[in-house]
Amino acid sequence: MGERIRILLPEDEVDRRISEIGRQISEAYNGKHVHLICVLKGGVCFTCELAKRITVPVSFDFMAVSSYGSGTESTGQVKIKKDLDEPLEGKDVLLVEDIIDSGNTLSSLLELLWMRKPASLKICTLLDKPSRRVRDVKVDYVGFSIPDEFVVGYGLDYDQKYRNLPYIGVVEFDD
Return per-residue pLDDT of the chain as tens, 175 residues: 578 999 999 999 999 999 999 999 999 999 999 999 999 988 999 999 999 999 999 999 999 987 655 444 555 567 889 999 999 999 999 999 999 988 888 888 999 999 999 999 999 999 999 988 888 899 999 999 999 999 999 999 888 899 999 999 999 988 6
**Dihedral class, residue 149 (left if φ above 0, else alpha if ψ from -120 to 50, else beta):** beta
> Is residue 4 classed exposed, middle or buried when 0-12, 13-18 and 19+ CB atoms within 10 A define those classes?
exposed
**For residue 97, which of 147, 144, 149, 136 has the smallest C-alpha distance?**
144
- Give the H/E segment covering residue 17: helix 11-28
This prediction's pTM: 0.91
Q: Give the residue numbers annotated as catalytic, written as ranges.
A: 101
